Chains A and B, each alone.
Chain A
Amino acid sequence: MISVLLDVVGGVLLLVGLLLLTISLVGVLRLPDTYHQLHAQGLATGPGVIAVLASSIATENATIITFAVLAIAFVALTSPVSSHAIARAAHRRRNSAGTGGGTGGGTGGGTDNAGEA
């Protein structure tokens, strides 16, 4: 009974993860600039990958599940950092292009739909 339940949960998590990865791909292709594309890739590198890894629960193998849990922890810590690094690079490039030189430190506020990519 529990085995069947784990199979169902694992299957659902796998489907959700693959769906999120697909939506993320569509978003990266559709969206116009770096910032917006980072939202799309965040869907894949965060919840998408986590759902796929969590589906390993269906294997009922302690070693595989342990590695999946560790991978989820590392993804949770590294995914925001990589997004931040790319976003900051895009921000500095925009500031550099806007001021004709120099980096860093610009202010935000309001909306920004200018193309980045």
Chain B
Amino acid sequence: MIALVLRVVVLTSIYLLVLTSLRPGDVLTGLLLATLVVLASRRTGRGAPSQPVPLRRRLAGVPALVGGTLVDLVSGTWQTAVRLLGRGPAEGGLVEVPIPPGGPVSAAAWGVRVGFVPDTVVVEIDEERGRMLLHVLDARNPAAVVAAQHDSYQRRQRRVFP
């Protein structure tokens, strides 16, 4: 129930931010639309967590997820810029990363998180076979790339999208 209310509040907030308005009519319209969207998504089963994790625990992991992704973004931006201007992409290549069975939501979150950083491009995700194919700018040591991805998942994502 709390999760549903939270979704309605978040969607209403986005609606009001788009309108940049706090007039009562706009708030009511936003609440109505958000409730309809949440109920519709509940009926279709979309948006459900892949594993039952307490909402409080998931919310507690959000700062680590956002902060860690920003750190990855800054680091990846620097490395990409240096390579584009300097040494060139001679060591770039494809690396296959095994992913734990967490369902489509977890795989999608992993793909968006990794794809947001410029030094990695998500080529293929297959959550059923448990693998993700990445193109990285430095593929000289694929084992190190896999280890870094798993470490990133454990520290940043696992609590929010296990």
Least Cβ–Cβ distance between A29 and chain B, in angstroms: 10
Q: Which residues of A contact B114 (CB under 8 A)?
A: 80
Q: Check A62 against B20 for contact (C-beta < 8 Å).
A: yes
Contact with B along A17-54 (1 / 0, CB 8 A): 00010011011001110011011101100110000000
Could you tell me the distance in whole angstroms from the C-beta of A102 to the nearest C-beta in chain B? 15
Contact flag A87-B20 (CB < 8 Å), given A109-B95, A111-B94: no
- CA A24 to CA B118, docked complex, whole Å: 10
* A43 close to B135 (CB less than 8 A): no
The reply to whether B116 and A31 contact each other, CB–CB distance below 8 Å, is no
Residues of B within 8 A of A69 (CB): 17
Minimal beta-carbon separation of B153 from chain A (angstroms)? 16
| Number of interface residues, chain A, beta carbon within 8 A | 43
B139 contacts A110, CB within 8 Å?
yes
Q: How close is A35's CB to chain B, nearest CB, in angstroms?
A: 4
B84 adjacent to A26 (CB under 8 Å): yes
Could you tell me if A113 and B90 are in contact, using CB atoms closer than 8 angstroms? yes
CA distance A110 to B123 in the complex (A): 14
Q: Can you list 7 residue pairs at the A/B interface with Cβ under 8 Å? A: A36-B89, A39-B121, A42-B121, A67-B20, A70-B18, A109-B94, A109-B142
> Which residues of A approach B to under 8 Å, CB–CB?
20, 23-24, 26-27, 30-32, 35-36, 38-40, 42-43, 46-47, 62-63, 66-67, 69-70, 76-77, 79-81, 83-84, 87-88, 90-91, 105-113
